[in-house]
Structure 1
Amino acid sequence: MRGGQYMKSYSKKLHFHLPSRRGLVNITQDVQDAVGESGIKEGMVLVNAMNITASVFINDDESGLHQDYEKWLEGLAPEKPYSQYRHNGYEDNADAHLKRTVMGRETVVAVTEGRLDFGTWEQIFYYEFDGKRDKRVLVKIIGE
C-alpha cells in the first residue's frame, strides 16, 4: 500500500487456435489492451503461456528473425523422425516440449503511466509449437 491506495489485480485470458503445427503471433496490442482494461497505471504485467508446448517471449518483430527462430529451433529439436524421442508414443510432440523449454514460458513487463514500458523494438510474442488445438495465454496485471 502506498499513499492509501491498495494494489489491484486484473486477469485476462487470450485464446488461440492456430491452423498449423507451429506459428508466431505478435500479441503486444492484446496485452496493452488488457492493461488499459485493468485501469492499472503503475505496476507489472505477467504474460504466461498456459500450455506446455507454447512460449511467450519478448523480441523484435522482424520477419527474417522469425525465420531464423524456426530454422534454429528445428536444428535443436527437429520434429521428425518422431521415433527419435522417448516421449513420442501416444503423442508426437516431444520436439514442441523441447522448443518451449528453449523459448521460455512467460515474460514480465513494467507498466508505466498505463502503458507497457519497453525498450527499443521490443514486442511480445506467442509462439506455438504444437498447434491445431485450443490454447490460452494468461495476462495478469498487478499494480495501482
Structure 2
Amino acid sequence: MKSYRKELWFNIPTRRAFVNITGQVAEALAESGVKEGLVLCNAMHITASVFINDDEGGLHHDYDQWLERLAPHEPVDRYRHNDTGEDNADAHLKRQVMGREVVVAVTGGKLDLGPWEQIFYGEFDGRRRKRALVKIIGE
C-alpha cells in the first residue's frame, strides 16, 4: 500500500471565505500514484473547515449568511472564549457546523465525486497563514 502526504497552504485576506480546492487535491492524487484507495483532506486549524458541496456562488453566499446568523462575529463579548483576548469564538462554532474533514474514494486514479460535488476549504478566521492536509492511501 502507498501513502502520500501533502499540505495545502492558504492566506485568505478576509475573515471568511470558501475556496474550491478540488483541483489541488486532484493534483496531489496524481502525484501520489494511487489508483484505488482513499483521500482524506482536513483543515489543520480549529477555525477552518474542509467540506464537500456544489461550487455555486449563491450557495456560498447562503452558507456565509446562515453561518453568521448561527454564530455572529459581533458583539465579540457575547462569547466566553473571547475573554481570553481572542475575537474568534464564532469561527470555532462555524467550523464545528461545517466539519473538519472529508474522505473521498479514489477509483481509476480519479477522485470519485458525484456530479456536482467539489471540495472546499472554509475559512472563518482568516488574515493569516493556515493549511489543510491531504493524506492519500491505497494501491
Into which bin does the TM-score normalised by the smaller protein fall?
over 0.9
Aligned to 2:63: 69
Cross-structure match for 1:103: 98
Q: Select the structure that is richer in helix.
A: 2
Post-superposition shift, 1:120?
Answer: 1.4
Correspondence for 1:80 among 63, 66, 74: 74
- Tell me the TM-score normalized by structure 2: 0.98
d(CA) in 2 for partners of 1:132 and 1:75? 22
C-alpha distance after superposition, 1:28-58 (max 9, x if no partner): 0000000000000000000000000000000
Q: Which residue of 2 aligns with 1:46?
A: 40
Aligned residues: 138
The separation in 1 between residues aligned to 2:34 and 2:64, in whole angstroms, is 36
1:129 alignment partner in structure 2? 124
RMSD, aligned CA: 0.4
Give the structure with higher Rg (CA): 1
Q: Report the equivalent of 1:13.
A: 7
Unaligned runs of 5+ in 1: 1-6
Q: Give the distance between the partners of 1:24 and 1:93, measured in 2 at CA.
A: 17
Q: Give identity over the alignment, percent.
A: 71
Q: Deviations over 1:102-121 (max 9, x none)?
A: 00000000001110001110
Q: Distance in 2 between matches of 1:29 and 1:73?
A: 26
AA partner of residue 4 (structure 2): Y
- In structure 2, the gaps of 5 or more residues are none
Q: CA deviation at 1:11?
A: 0.3
- The letter for the 2-side match of 1:122 is E
TM-score normalised by L of structure 1: 0.95
